[in-house]
């Protein structure tokens, strides 16, 4: 499915236009431009630079000089936590003196060529995208492909019928629908984890892109060796016909309940394996009776005392890893030869260190942590299932 993106002019928009910038020593970033690109990155919006470079055709510098300027810009952007997804430039001009480049080209703005190439490379819906630049040719490019044009520069340079903003930073604030450009790149909590969200958003699509980016980043912090260890614990439990217990509070309770569904119903589909899986969070009558009579901190431990046996497995899901009922359940399991798997977030709390296997997500956003926990639960259940199927069955079955 195509997505919106942002096409940026280069000279006069990202760097100062001193006229045919063809060498690294002449590159000067406009104040706020790097931070603006970083904000687009955090919002999940693909960014492409589309720039006319007639200096090549006029003999002022060569293709390799343009590439060196872009390499320098890439390095400077990266130093401040920003990046451009695609760099495109048009070296052609009809008034050129270099024969290879002295011709017309549909790539030269306001021609649509570079925008169409960006759409192809980045899977963009140009009609939902923005073109930001300081010249009428940038506005013309936007009109040629049905994109939204934002003009940057002094009021005296305004293009009729198009909103003008003082600089790229101001234009990006409009794109993101945000009162500011979010926190500076690299802003983290005291624990060193990126804060999300770090600013107010006024557009759901922008927040959605940023949220997806944060899930991707957070999932990347999961230690896959711990996933492998968890899979071995689960597979061994099924092999010896042991019982797997799961528990969690709030949103984590729903993951525990879902785990029971996937391991009892899903794993059996195509394998014939009849597993023993129970969620300690699902029996509201028993759950509330224990909480009411003995205290909420005992709701999981009390059930384990009656149902669990040495060799069974306990899976706990806790974003904070600090919930007293979770910690007590882990302590009981450790004292009664019940291996444990913990899914945690934030700093991990006691659960992260008490569990036999720790699947930790470095995030400080409850929704993101729970989404990654749910994903880990799914992939473990599917791994266990496919490991017991024939290769032909894996190909033909729906997962």
pLDDT at 289 over 50: yes
Instruction: Give residues with Cβ within 8 angstroms of 129, minimum separation 6.
Output: 4, 5, 6, 7, 119, 147, 148
Q: Is 180 a catalytic residue?
A: no
Report, as an integer, the average pLDDT of 254-271.
92
pLDDT tens-digit profile of 44-99? Answer: 899 999 999 999 999 999 999 999 999 999 999 998 889 999 999 999 999 999 99
| pTM, to two decimals | 0.60
pLDDT at 239 over 50: yes
Residue of 11, 107, 167, 362 with catalytic role: 11
**Can you spell out the DSSP letters for 334-364?**
HHTT--EEEEE-TT-HHHHHHSSEEEE---S
Domains in the chain (CATH in brackets) are: 6-217 (3.40.50.1000), 224-390 (3.40.50.10490)
Q: Which pLDDT score, from 0 to 100, does residue 246 have?
A: 97
Lowest mean pLDDT among 135-144, 199-208, 242-251: 199-208
Query: For the range 211-215, what are the long-range contacts, defined as Cβ-Cβ under 8 Å and sequence gap of 24 or more?
Result: 211/44, 211/367, 211/368, 212/44, 213/41, 213/42, 213/43, 213/44, 214/363, 214/365, 214/368, 215/368, 215/371, 215/372
Residue of 9, 107, 134, 362 with catalytic role: 9
pLDDT at 189 over 60: no
Q: Which pLDDT score, from 0 to 100, does residue 32 have?
A: 94
d(C-alpha 354, C-alpha 333), whole Å: 10
> Nearest to residue 168, comparing CAs of 13, 10, 6?
13
pLDDT tens-digit profile of 312-351? Answer: 999 999 999 999 999 999 999 999 999 999 999 999 999 9
Q: Highest-confidence range of 91-100, 181-190, 216-225, by mean pLDDT?
A: 91-100
Q: Is 9 a catalytic residue?
A: yes
Return the DSSP state at 263.
Answer: I
Instruction: Give residues with Cβ within 8 angstroms of 101, minimum separation 6.
Output: 56, 57, 91, 92, 93
Per the prediction, the chain carries an average pLDDT of: 92
Report, as an integer, the average pLDDT of 357-384.
96
d(C-alpha 60, C-alpha 38), whole Å: 31
């Amino acid at each position: 499915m195509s997505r919106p993106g942002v096409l940026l002019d280069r000279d006069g928009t990202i760097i100062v236009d001193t006229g045919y910038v063809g060498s690294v020593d002449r590159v000067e970033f406009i104040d706020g431009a790097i931070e603006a690109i970083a904000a687009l990155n955090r919002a999940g919006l693909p960014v492409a630079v589309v720039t006319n470079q007639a200096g090549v055709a006029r003999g002022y510098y060569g293709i390799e000089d343009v590439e060196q300027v872009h390499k320098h810009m890439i390095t400077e952007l990266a130093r401040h936590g920003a990046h451009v997804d695609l760099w495109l430039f048009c070296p052609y001009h009809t008034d050129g003196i270099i024969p290879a480049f002295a011709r017309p080209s549909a790539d030269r703005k306001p021609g649509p060529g570079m925008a169409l190439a960006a759409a192809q490379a980045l899977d963009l819906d140009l009609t939902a995208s923005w073109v930001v630049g300081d010249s009428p040719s940038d506005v013309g490019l936007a009109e040629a492909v049905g994109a939204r044009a934002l003009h940057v520069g002094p009021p005296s340079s305004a293009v009729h019928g198009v909103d003008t903003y003082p600089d790229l930073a101001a234009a990006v604030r409009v794109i993101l629908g945000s009162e500011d450009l979010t926190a500076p790149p690299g802003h983290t909590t005291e624990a060193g984890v990126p804060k999300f969200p770090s600013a107010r958003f006024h557009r759901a699509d922008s927040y959605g892109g940023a949220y997806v980016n944060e899930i991707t980043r957070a999932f990347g912090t999961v230690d896959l060796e711990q996933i492998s260890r968890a899979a071995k614990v689960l597979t061994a439990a099924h092999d010896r016909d042991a019982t797997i217990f799961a528990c969690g509070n709030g949103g984590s309770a729903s993951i525990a309940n879902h785990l029971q569904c996937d391991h009892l119903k899903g794993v059996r589909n195509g394998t014939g394996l009849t597993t023993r899986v129970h969620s300690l969070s699902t029996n509201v009558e028993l759950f509330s009776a224990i909480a009411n009579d003995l205290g909420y901190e005992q709701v999981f431990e009390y059930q384990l005392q009656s149902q669990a046996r040495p060799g069974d497995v306990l899976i706990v899901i806790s974003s904070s890893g600090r919930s007293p009922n979770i910690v007590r359940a882990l302590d009981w399991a450790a004292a009664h030869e019940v291996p444990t798997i913990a899914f945690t977030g934030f700093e991990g709390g006691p659960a992260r260190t008490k569990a036999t296997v720790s699947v930790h997500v470095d995030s400080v956003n409850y929704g993101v942590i729970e989404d990654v926990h749910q994903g880990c639960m799914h992939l473990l259940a599917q791994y266990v299932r496919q490991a017991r199927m024939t290769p032909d069955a894996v190909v033909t079955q729906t997962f």
